Amino acid sequence: MNQAMQVISTFVGIDVSKRKLDIAVLLNGKIKSKVVANDPSGFAQLDNWLRERNISHHNAHLCLEATGSYSEQAALALVSYGWIISVVNPARIKGFAQSDLVRNKTDRADAALLARFCAAMRPSVWMPPSPAYRQLRAMVERLQALKDMHQQEANRLEAHHASGETTVLPNIESHIAWLAKDVNADLKLIQFCNERRFKFDTPPFNFPGNYSVGAAARLPFTIPAAR
């Protein structure tokens, strides 16, 4: 355990959903709960609420599950306020819940579980990816979406040929051609950015996902989860 973690006395679990954050503060074995909006005003409200209770970034460790963009915007905001946070793979939380015999499944209970997990496991501190990394990751995710659409349209084209129904074939073929052009253009842009501007083959802690920006030319990808 590092020196910074030795002074931590308060553990905060944050259950993230699209519209709200359920917060559970574990202090001296007791849980205090709070709900705020999952938006900038809610992040500011959470920051103020914690500080009003003499909870500071010197004595608190916040923990939330990695749930994609919804958790990322909260994590980035909390880091900007100076909080120590961990963004944890949901599989780790599930395993902890099973070992802790947790049966309740509500947002409030999930937040309390995250606080207890944080206290027991002291997960690694999350370091936010750089804006450049996030931009490139978004480009790669968009590229994969286009490739998926291209494959879906190719499957439709094959099905229509097999059925003999040709009415919509020109439209499908046109869409396939457009998608192929867009995919190739995006891939070239990603490769250029990756080679000339970004060096992310060993990125910092990241949210679990399907893509590694450092391997943008070698779809499909894997990306390391926060430990």
Q: How far is CA 21 from CA 58, 65, 169, 220, in A?
A: 22, 11, 47, 32
- Does one domain contain both 87 and 161? no
- Does one domain contain both 208 and 108? no
Q: Which of 90, 121, 152 marks a domain boundary?
A: 121
Print burial letters for 32-57: b (CB count within 10 Å at least 16), e (below 16).
bebebebeeebbebbbeebeeeebeb
Report residue 173 CA to chain centroid gap. Answer: 35
Residues 152-203 have pLDDT tens digits of 999 999 998 888 888 899 999 999 888 888 888 877 777 777 665 555 444 4
In a domain, 206, yes or no: yes
Residues 83-139 have pLDDT tens digits of 999 999 999 998 898 876 555 667 788 899 999 999 999 999 999 887 777 777 788
What tokens does 79 get?
Answer: 């880091």
- Does one domain contain both 10 and 114? yes
List the domain range (segments joined by +) for residue 186.
131-215
- Mean pLDDT over 16-26 rounds to 95
Q: List the one residue out of 154, 163, 148 whose CA is nearest residue 210.
A: 148
Residue with tokens 């049966």: 103
In a domain, 198, yes or no: yes
Whether the full predicted model's pTM is greater than 0.85, yes or no, is no
Domain count, the chain: 2
What gap in Å lies between CA 33 and CA 60, rounded to an integer? 15
